[in-house]
Amino acid sequence: MHQHSNSPPISLKKRISIIGGGSAALAFAAHINTEKFDVVIYEKNKALGRKFLVAGAGGFNLTHGSNILDMVKQYEPQDFLEQALLQFSNEDFRHWLKVIGIETYVGSSNRVFPIKSIKPIEVLQAILKNLKHKGIQIQTGKQWTGWNPDNFIQLNGSEHIESDIVVYALGGGSWKVSGSDGSWLSFFKDKNIPNLDFKAANCAFEIQWPSDFISHHAGKALKNITLSSSRKTYKGELSITTLGLEGNAIYPLSSDIQSDLAAYGKAQVSIDFKPMFTEKDLLNKLEKSKAKSINDKLKTDLVLSNTAIQLIKNHLDKDSYANYEVLAKTIKQLPLTLIASAPIDEAISTTGGIDLEAIDENFQLKALPNHYCLGEMLDWNAPTGGYLLQACFSMGVKLARHLNDQVS
Ligand X SMILES: Cc1cc2nc3c(=O)[nH]c(=O)nc-3n(C[C@H](O)[C@H](O)[C@H](O)COP(=O)(O)OP(=O)(O)OC[C@H]3O[C@@H](n4cnc5c(N)ncnc54)[C@H](O)[C@@H]3O)c2cc1C
| Residue at shortest CB range from ligand X | 22
Using the minimum distance from each CB to ligand X, give the nearer residue, 313 or 402. Answer: 402
84, 89, 238, 272 from 64: Cα distances, Å: 15, 10, 20, 25
Using the minimum distance from each CB to ligand X, give the nearer residue, 106 or 283. Answer: 106
Using the minimum distance from each CB to ligand X, give the nearer residue, 23 or 89. Answer: 23
Nearest distance from C-beta of residue 110 to ligand X, angstroms: 13
Using the minimum distance from each CB to ligand X, give the nearer residue, 184 or 205. Answer: 184
Using the minimum distance from each CB to ligand X, give the nearer residue, 127 or 294. Answer: 127
Upstream peptide bond of 335 is cis (omega within 30 degrees of 0):
no
Using the minimum distance from each CB to ligand X, give the nearer residue, 49 or 334. Answer: 49
CB 19 within 8 A of CB 166: yes
What is d(CA 250, CA 271) in angstroms, rounded to the nearest whole number? 10
Phi, psi of 86 (to 5 degrees): -75, -35
Nearest distance from C-beta of residue 15 to ligand X, angstroms: 17
Nearest distance from C-beta of residue 64 to ligand X, angstroms: 8
The angle at the Cα of 19, spanning 18 to 23, to the nearest 5 degrees, equals 80
* Cβ count near 324 (within 10 Å): 17
Of the candidates 197, 205, 299, the one whose C-alpha atom is nearest the C-alpha of residue 243 is: 205
Using the minimum distance from each CB to ligand X, give the nearer residue, 58 or 335. Answer: 58
Burial class (CB in 10 A: 0-12, 13-18, 19+), 19: buried
Nearest distance from C-beta of residue 107 to ligand X, angstroms: 11
If DSSP codes are grouped into helix, strand and coil, which group holds residue 41?
strand
23, 55, 87 from 103: Cα distances, Å: 18, 18, 21
Nearest distance from C-beta of residue 159 to ligand X, angstroms: 12
Binding site for ligand X (CB under 6 A): 19-25, 42-45, 50-52, 54-55, 58-61, 143-144, 169-171, 174-175, 179-180, 184, 348-349, 375-377, 384, 386-389, 392
Beta strands in 63-164 (DSSP E): 63-64, 104-106, 111-114, 137-140, 144-147, 153-155, 159-161
CB 53 within 8 A of CB 25: no
Nearest distance from C-beta of residue 7 to ligand X, angstroms: 32
Nearest distance from C-beta of residue 47 to ligand X, angstroms: 9
Using the minimum distance from each CB to ligand X, give the nearer residue, 59 or 194. Answer: 59
Using the minimum distance from each CB to ligand X, give the nearer residue, 304 or 391. Answer: 391
Q: CA torsion sign, 182 to 183 to 186 to 187?
A: negative
Using the minimum distance from each CB to ligand X, give the nearer residue, 170 or 250. Answer: 170
Nearest distance from C-beta of residue 171 to ligand X, angstroms: 3
Nearest distance from C-beta of residue 45 to ligand X, angstroms: 5
What is d(CA 55, CA 58) in angstroms, rounded to the nearest whole number? 6
CB 382 within 8 A of CB 12: no
Nearest distance from C-beta of residue 142 to ligand X, angstroms: 6
Return the axis-axis angle of helices 23-31 and 120-134, rounded to nearest 10°.
Answer: 40
What is d(CA 150, CA 179) in angstroms, rounded to the nearest whole number? 27
